[in-house]
Amino acid sequence: MKKTRAIVITGNGTNCEMEAAHACRLGGFDEVVIAHIAEILSGEVRLDDFHFLNLTGGFLDGDDLGSAKAQANRLKHAGVAGSGEKLVEQFSRFISAGKLILGVCNGFQLMVKMGMLPGFDGDYLAQSVTLTHNDCGRFQDRWTYLKCDPASPSVFTAGIGKGIYLPVRHGEGKFLCDTAETLERIESGHLAVLKYSGPDYAEATMEFPANPNGAQNAVAALCDPSGRLMGLMPHPEAFVHYTQHPRWTREQLPEQGDGLMLYKNAAEYVRNNLV
């Protein structure tokens, strides 16, 4: 059997690449590569050689023009040296091949501004949603309860149960749709994978600080109809072990953090479907 391979893209202001790579390894991937975007644009590294693409958190291009907007333009229009193709063609092939993409925080912002999410009708280059400034007007760094939609097609959240507990750290995390029709398609398709909630995971909430940014319909995560592409504002790579929990010295916790399940599900999907 071929090895399962994950890639984490770094550069131009991203961070969390080491944590994301570690989460992929803990999740079960055989090989994990951290690649600078310059290596991909130069042709030294090709997305075609991997099964799982990670777009991490950070402050791409200093959030100039808005979070991830400059990188979205770069990836949609930049050419790959010596190949005669644009980088966006590699992204399109990656998606068409049935592979997985996970965007976290700044990576989620990048996915929506490239148009990869929600990916209606197989169109992964048309933007219809965005992530913008938090309603509170300031950066939020806190832990959040996230209600999971059991009917979601997301590969990453399969078997998670009622909800998970993850940290957020962002200034532009408010989810918004361009039209009411877009929101309706997201809700009816169960594409709003995770929603901000209270600790019982019973109902989504618009109340601050449980909903730290004022996201429309409390949306914290979004997937495409195939469930293979997903973006979320909370950081799953920041809770893969119980010692990362804010109350780990005061509570009896399982060794595995809530976020690790997303990476385990990704590795299992790749093993069963792509290698």
- Catalytic amino acids? 105, 235, 237
- DSSP letter at 109 equals H
In whole angstroms, what separates CA 18 from the centre of its chain? Answer: 16
CB 237 within 8 A of CB 23: yes
Total number of residues shown for the chain: 275
Query: CA 4, CA 27: separation in Å to the nearest integer?
Result: 11
Query: CA 31, CA 243: separation in Å to the nearest integer?
Result: 25
Q: CA triplet 91, 274, 236: central angle to 5 degrees?
A: 70
Q: What are the structure tokens assigned to 46, written together? A: 């090709």
- Nearest Cα neighbor of 273 from 38, 92, 99 is 99
Q: Which residues lie below 8 Å from residue 184, measured CB to CB, with a gap of 6+?
A: none
Q: Which residues lie below 8 Å from residue 190, measured CB to CB, with a gap of 6+?
A: 149, 151, 152, 153
Q: Residue ranges of the alpha helices (H) in 50-143?
A: 69-77, 87-96, 106-114
Q: Which residues lie below 8 Å from residue 150, measured CB to CB, with a gap of 6+?
A: none
Q: Is the dihedral of CA 218, 223, 227, 230 positive or negative?
A: negative
